[in-house]
């Protein structure tokens, strides 16, 4: 059967120049779940959030695409534990989320897929308190379940004619991919560069691409739609996920309570079950 048509292959830019993004439209995903509440020990005195600073307000969480499933679960658990709280998720590529926050989008909590994205928000004076590291992740090669290009290694993904996709370098998964290429001494020639790891995974799962570098947790969540292949050099590009409340949070007590929840035992359990490593 003929392969699905793709846009013409672009030559990879030299490593010294950032890759340009073949961006797909990013539509914020709002997840409205059930409700909950309890006091927040992390909120400063006098913050909003109900009587005695109770975490029974609304909180909008901007989270990296690779955190979608885990944070959907954590939002439901938080609401169950804090009656009256309402958690809304905006899930997208970390770079897009940073831009939205800096441009004034209403956000209460930020959880990107790398510390560099959090540093950008902190440099803009938009953090409330200190960010907390909550998880780590590494990249693996994802290939379609039938592996039509017979990929077994990163070198195979660089073969002429192999349709490999990656994240753009300004996205955390793209920056990690670049470090892996450098460590392996391999220069991939991607047919497209995406604005989020879920976009890369989607192209592989649909058969539009023969291989893609995505997070191990995304491969795990994809089940039998893709196969995962270890990349030894991924140990040189471990990604750390932080979370923090934002300075302009509409309900600081609830925002901080959610941060504390994610960074606490419940959050660690959910993230660990999804395949994330400890920070």
Q: What is the mean pLDDT of residues 125-153?
A: 97
Here the tokens at position 87 are 């958690």
Residue 51 pLDDT more than 90?
A: no
In this chain, the answer to whether the domains covering 58-135+241-274 and 139-236 adopt an identical fold is yes
27 against 213, higher pLDDT: 213
| 243 belongs to an annotated ligand binding site | no
Query: DSSP string covering 94-105, please?
Result: HHHHHHHHHTT-
CB-CB contact of 72 with 24 (8 Å): no
Strand (E) or helix (H) holding 160: none
Selection from 126, 96, 130, 131 nearest residue 111 by Cα: 131
Number of helices (H) and strands (E) in the chain: give both, helices first.
9, 11
| 259 belongs to an annotated ligand binding site | no
Query: Superfamily assignment of 139-236 in CATH?
Result: Periplasmic binding protein-like II (3.40.190.10)
Domain ranges of the chain: 58-135+241-274, 139-236
| 94 belongs to an annotated ligand binding site | yes
12 against 209, higher pLDDT: 209
pLDDT band at 174; cut points 50, 70, 90? very high
Chain centroid, CA 216 distance in Å: 12
| 241 belongs to an annotated ligand binding site | no
pLDDT digits (tens, 9 = 90+) for 149-166: 999 999 999 999 999 999
Residue 16 pLDDT more than 90?
A: no
pLDDT band at 129; cut points 50, 70, 90? confident
pTM of the model: 0.79
The dotted CATH code for 58-135+241-274 is: 3.40.190.10
């Amino acid at each position: 059967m003929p392969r699905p048509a793709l846009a013409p292959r672009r030559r990879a830019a030299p490593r010294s120049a950032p890759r340009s993004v073949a961006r797909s439209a990013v539509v914020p995903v709002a997840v409205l779940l059930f409700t909950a509440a309890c006091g927040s020990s992390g909120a400063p005195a006098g913050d909003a959030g109900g009587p005695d600073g109770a975490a029974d307000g609304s909180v909008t969480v901007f989270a990296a695409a690779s955190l979608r499933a885990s944070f959907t679960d954590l939002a439901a658990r938080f609401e169950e534990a804090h009656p009256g709280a309402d958690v809304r998720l905006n899930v997208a590529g970390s770079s897009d989320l940073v831009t939205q926050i800096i441009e004034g989008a209403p956000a209460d909590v930020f959880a990107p897929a790398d510390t560099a994205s959090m540093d950008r928000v902190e440099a803009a004076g938009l953090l409330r308190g200190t960010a907390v590291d909550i998880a780590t992740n590494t990249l693996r090669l994802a290939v379609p379940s039938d592996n039509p290009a017979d990929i077994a290694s990163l070198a195979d993904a660089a073969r002429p004619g192999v349709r490999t996709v990656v994240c753009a370098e300004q996205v955390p998964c793209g920056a990690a991919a670049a470090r892996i290429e450098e460590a392996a001494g391999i220069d991939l020639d991607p047919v497209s560069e995406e604005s989020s790891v879920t976009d890369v995974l989607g192209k592989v799962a649909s058969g539009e691409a023969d291989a893609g570098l995505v997070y191990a947790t995304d491969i795990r969540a994809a089940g039998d739609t893709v196969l995962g292949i270890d990349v030894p050099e991924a140990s040189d590009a471990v990604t750390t996920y932080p979370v923090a409340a934002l300075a302009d949070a509409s309900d600081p007590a609830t925002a901080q309570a959610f941060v504390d929840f994610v960074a606490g035992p419940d959050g660690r359990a959910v993230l660990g079950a999804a395949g994330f490593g400890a920070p």
